[in-house]
Amino acid sequence: MGPTLALLHAFPLSSELWEPQLEGLKDVARVLAVDMRGFGETPLGEPPYDLEDLARDLRDLLDALGVDRCVLGGLSMGGYVALAFQRLFGDRLRGLVLADTRAAADAPAARERRYQTIRQVETHGVEPLASTMPGTLLSAGAPEAMREQVKAWIASADPRAIAAAQRAMAERPDSTDRLASIQVPTLVVVGDEDALSPPDEAARMASMLSHGRLVRIPHAGHLSSLENPAAFNHALRDFLGASAP
């Protein structure tokens, strides 16, 4: 059995996002797909929380499972938490995978949009988000069935979990200046058609890493692991072979 690969999902999804990796990477790693607070099977607890609390949750889970070090991958919001984990518990990492994510904090307008989303879910529930978000998460060429699947995932999310996650993301610190000090191999992955964390942003992030490499996933938007699992898993297999023992 290879290293433990812990995977953190995007907002407002759950560990179900990682089905293609649980199946496709099980021969090279012990793959752990984690539900973050309020999503999937993990209780919300008492919000508010910040992204460092989610990193501590993962530390507790690794402790409970007796895992000393892992390769940690996060997609989008999962990537923000992976960076928080790196900041707090960098010595627990063998490698880092930052997929369709960014190191920068929100610009003021983006932060304000998150507070608008909070007001929207508090007033209208998750339906408006479930209708509009699949269009921004997936590429134009994504199959209809995948669009429906993502919509159903969002529709099943708890509005209180959505609000808490948006607040935590809005208040996250900027990690850009820390990229150069990350000492483990770091893979930056981005869907060629990611409109939310675009390839230019990923390339900038990879160029600031001391031990970074960038892989672009063709025919994929923001949820690159879901849209093109063959290319995504291929990149991870290559990377796992190279990550620190």
Q: Give yes or no for residue 21 binding ligand MLT (CB under 6 A).
A: no
Closest CB 189 distance from ligand MLT, rounded Å: 13
Contacts with ligand MLT, 134-153, as mask; x by CB under 6 A: --------------------
**Is 76 near ligand MLT (CB under 6 A)?**
yes
Of the candidates 92, 85, 79, 54, which has an alpha carbon nearest to the alpha carbon of residue 187?
79
Report if residue 11 touches ligand MLT, rule: CB under 6 A: yes
Give the residue, chosen from 77, 126, 187, 220, that forms a contact with ligand MLT under the rule CB under 6 A.
77
Task: Kindly determine how many residues on this chain lie close enough to bind ligand MLT according to the rule CB under 6 A.
Answer: 7
- Closest approach, Cβ 67 to ligand MLT, in A, equals 24
Q: Per rule CB under 6 A, is residue 81 in the interface with ligand MLT?
A: no
Interface with ligand MLT includes 82 (CB under 6 A)? no
The three-state secondary structure class of 241 is helix
**According to the binding rule CB under 6 A, does residue 10 interact with ligand MLT?**
yes
**Beta bridge partners of residue 96, listed in sequence order:** 72, 186
Q: How far apart are CA 57 and CA 24, in angstroms?
A: 26
Place of tokens 């949820």: 223
Q: What is the number of helices (H) and of strands (E) in the chain?
A: 10, 6
Report phi then psi at 174, rounded to 5. Answer: -80, 130
Nearest to 244 by CA among 96, 33, 98, 99: 96
Residues forming the site for ligand MLT (CB under 6 A): 10-11, 76-77, 169, 196, 222
